[in-house]
Each structure stands twice: as structure tokens, then as C-alpha cells.
């Protein structure tokens, strides 16, 4: 398949050009091309690597915690429509049997993906702080320990890419180095940590932070908090860029501080994503969606109904970042986080043909996953 006359989005630039794919891989950029019966004309549209969402709970009325392969497939299909070609299904703080059932369904769905590819799983909890619970269920919070982690993940260890936990709670200082040694990315989140406690967690092995600014101690001039620790170290972070979770000035400040190399765009979407306003569920708790926001009955934000194309559009419109850097935050950075940047996240020969076509307003046209047209 030849993609001709596009604006190709690379991590460091955008340039006019063409590329060819074969057997699910990119085989040539700007020639030489072998003879091919299928040619897609770009007419100046953008050709981008597919988006990678490392933090998403649900979409299309389905949730990761349903524990059903059908639910994972529905989520994968809905988000692919919006340009996401790979993702990490994300669990919630619930009972151990429920989390294990979710892991089983994710593993089964990953064997024959329908829509976006599954690169692993993100465990959000249950080792979090009750003082920064957010939309998690306080009734299922567990004290972190190696034994508790192994109880949850036994048989699914290789599936776990990342885990969100609070570094200050008792037991965390023993579990964090263990997880780092196993290759699991430990992310600071749902935490009441002081600056010092967060920095200590980073020293032990925390390398990322979950939904920057949300469910963590803020930065003030005398108590820098977890946000200050994130800004003062080189760990990566992620933002829910819907204009609801974080104000645009705060996002601009964060992007200038961390740079586009250290930030990932995520949705943290829940089952109401792609659905009309109404009543839904997240982690066993009732959620109402209205005016673009998802909230628990107590008013707390409960994930989002954001899609990755909307996140890219929002950041492009509300910051001074060039489009290629915004796309990098939505693709290559996530691939690096998942250890898949040797094959995903950018336009390069030998990389997976996860490709999306969009216009000036980031309206998704075509979507290709491993070289096969999805949309």
C-alpha cells in the first residue's frame, strides 16, 4: 500500500512525502517504492503514527472491570475510531477477584485483538492513599506488599506494564524496588505525599506520575508537594487534556516545565466515552455525565469521556506546541512507556504500520492497524 502526497508527522518535524507499507510494516519512506496496486492519495492531509493511550478504563458503555472479552473488544473498537491504535486497558481499585477477572479478559482479548492493539495493562490501585481517593473506591484500598501484588497478578505478571500507587503509604518502600526490578513502571498517583516523600519514592524506582495535578498534593510556594517533585525531577507524567481536569494555563506551565519529551496525553476515559449523557458506572460507583464531564454523585471527577484525537486537538489549540510535538506526546512517548518504541509510535522503516490520516482540525479520516484498514 502506498500513501502518496501526505504531510508526514515525524517526532521532530512535519514534511511532505509518501510512504509504503507491506505485511503490516512500513517498508519505505519517500521511496524507492515497489509496484503496488493500492495507492491512497493524501491531497496534503496529515499521516501520523497511531495514538497510544496508556490510561483508559472504558468506552462505548463497557468497562475494563466488566471482566469480559467482549467489553475489551468494544473499548478497542471505539477508541480506534478516534485514532488510538494501541492502549493499556486500566483497572480500578476493586476486590482482588474482580481485578484478576479483568486481567484474564485482557489477556484473552490480546490474543485476537479487534481494533486497537493491547500493549499490556495499567493497574490503577489498589495500593493508593485513602486521603487522595479521587474516583477510586475506598473500600478496596490495600496496603502495598509484595505478597498482595503477587496475589493480584499471579499468572498475569508479564501482562502488567504499569501500576499507580502512593509512595508514602506503609509498605510502598518495599514494593516499589521490587516492581522496578521486575520491569513494571511504578507511577505516583492518588497520593497525599509531601515533596520529600515523593522524591524518596522516585529514588526507590517510581518513574512516572498518573494524571498530573489530579489526586495528588499540589505545588505551593512553601510546600512543593507531589507536583513539585514531578517538576523538580526527570520522571515522565501524563495529562488529561480536556480543559476540565486541568486549566489550560496550568497545562501550558506543565508542558514548558516537563517538555514534550516527558509528557504523555491520556484520556482516563470511562465507559461513557462515545455515549450520550446519562448514568454510568466506574469501579462499582455511580457516575453521571453531563457537559463533557463525568462525576461521582459527590461531585468528584470520575475519569473522562475524552478521546485521543480530541486531546491532540485541544492541546494544539490551547498551547504554542507545534503539532509534531503534540503528536509525539500522543504516540512515541506512550510507545516508550510501554517498551514498544522499537516498533511503534513513529513513522520509520521497519515499524508497525499503525497509521492515521487526519485534517487540519484533527478530524480522523482513515485508520490502519498493522497495515490493515480499520476505518
DSSP H stretches of helix in 120-194: 146-153, 172-181
Q: Are 145 and 197 in contact (CB under 8 A)?
A: no
Question: d(Cα 90, Cα 126) in Å, to the nearest integer?
Answer: 12
Give catalytic status of residue 242 as yes or no: no
Residue closest to 121 by CA, chosen among 89, 99, 169, 156:
89
Cell of 300: 468528584
Question: d(Cα 286, Cα 301) in Å, to the nearest integer?
Answer: 12
For residue 194, give Cα distances in angstroms to 48, 75, 76, 253, 331: 40, 36, 37, 21, 31
Sign of CA dihedral 176, 180, 184, 186: positive
User: How many whole angstroms from its chain centre is CA 167?
Assistant: 21
Using only the alpha carbons of the chain, give its radius of gyration: 20
Q: Are 127 and 175 in contact (CB under 8 A)?
A: yes
Sign of CA dihedral 216, 220, 223, 228: positive
Question: d(Cα 25, Cα 281) in Å, to the nearest integer?
Answer: 39
Which residues 6+ apart lie within 8 Å of 318 measured at CB? 243, 248, 251, 252
Active-site residue, from 66, 268, 309, 354: 268
Catalytic annotation, residues: 268
Amino acid at each position: 500500500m502506498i500513501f502518496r502526497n501526505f504531510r508526514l508527522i515525524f517526532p521532530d518535524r512535519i514534511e511532505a512525502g509518501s510512504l509504503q507499507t507491506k505485511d503490516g510494516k512500513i517498508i519505505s519512506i519517500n521511496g524507492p517504492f515497489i509496484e503496488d496496486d493500492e495507492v491512497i492519495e493524501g491531497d496534503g492531509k496529515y499521516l501520523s503514527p497511531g495514538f497510544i493511550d496508556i490510561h483508559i478504563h472504558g468506552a462505548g458503555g463497557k468497562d475494563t472491570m466488566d471482566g469480559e472479552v467482549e467489553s475489551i473488544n468494544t473499548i478497542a473498537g471505539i477508541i480506534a475510531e478516534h485514532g488510538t491504535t494501541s492502549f493499556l486497558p486500566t483497572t480500578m481499585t476493586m476486590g482482588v477477584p474482580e481485578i484478576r477477572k479483568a486481567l484474564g479478559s485482557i489477556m484473552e482479548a490480546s490474543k485476537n485483538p479487534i481494533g486497537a492493539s493491547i500493549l499490556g495493562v495499567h493497574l490503577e490501585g489498589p495500593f493508593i492513599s485513602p486521603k487522595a481517593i479521587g474516583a477510586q473506591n475506598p473500600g478496596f484500598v490495600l496496603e502495598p506488599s509484595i505478597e498482595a501484588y503477587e496475589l493480584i497478578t499471579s499468572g498475569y505478571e508479564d501482562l502488567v506494564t504499569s501500576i499507580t500507587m502512593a509512595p508514602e503509604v506503609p509498605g510502598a518502600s518495599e514494593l516499589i524496588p521490587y516492581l522496578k526490578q521486575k520491569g513494571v513502571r511504578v507511577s505516583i498517583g492518588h497520593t497525599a505525599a509531601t515533596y520529600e516523600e515523593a522524591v524518596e519514592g522516585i529514588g526507590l524506582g517510581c518513574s512516572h506520575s498518573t494524571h498530573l495535578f489530579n489526586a495528588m498534593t499540589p505545588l505551593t510556594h512553601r510546600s512543593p508537594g507531589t507536583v513539585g517533585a514531578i517538576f523538580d525531577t526527570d520522571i515522565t507524567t501524563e495529562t488529561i487534556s480536556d480543559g476540565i481536569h486541568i486549566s489550560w494555563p496550568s497545562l501550558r506551565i506543565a508542558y514548558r516545565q516537563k517538555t514534550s519529551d516527558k509528557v504523555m496525553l491520556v484520556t482516563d476515559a470511562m465507559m461513557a466515552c462515545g455515549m450520550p449523557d446519562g448514568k454510568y458506572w466506574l469501579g462499582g460507583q455511580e457516575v453521571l455525565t453531563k457537559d463533557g464531564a463525568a462525576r461521582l454523585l459527590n461531585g468528584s471527577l470520575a475519569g473522562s469521556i475524552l478521546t485521543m484525537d480530541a486531546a491532540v486537538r485541544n492541546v494544539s489549540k490551547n498551547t504554542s506546541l507545534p503539532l509534531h510535538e503534540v503528536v509525539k506526546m500522543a504516540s512515541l512517548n506512550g510507545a516508550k512507556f510501554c517498551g514498544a518504541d522499537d516498533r511503534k509510535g513513529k513513522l520509520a522503516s521497519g515499524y508497525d504500520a499503525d497509521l492515521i490520516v487526519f485534517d487540519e482540525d484533527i478530524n480522523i479520516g482513515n485508520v490502519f492497524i498493522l497495515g490493515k484498514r480499520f476505518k
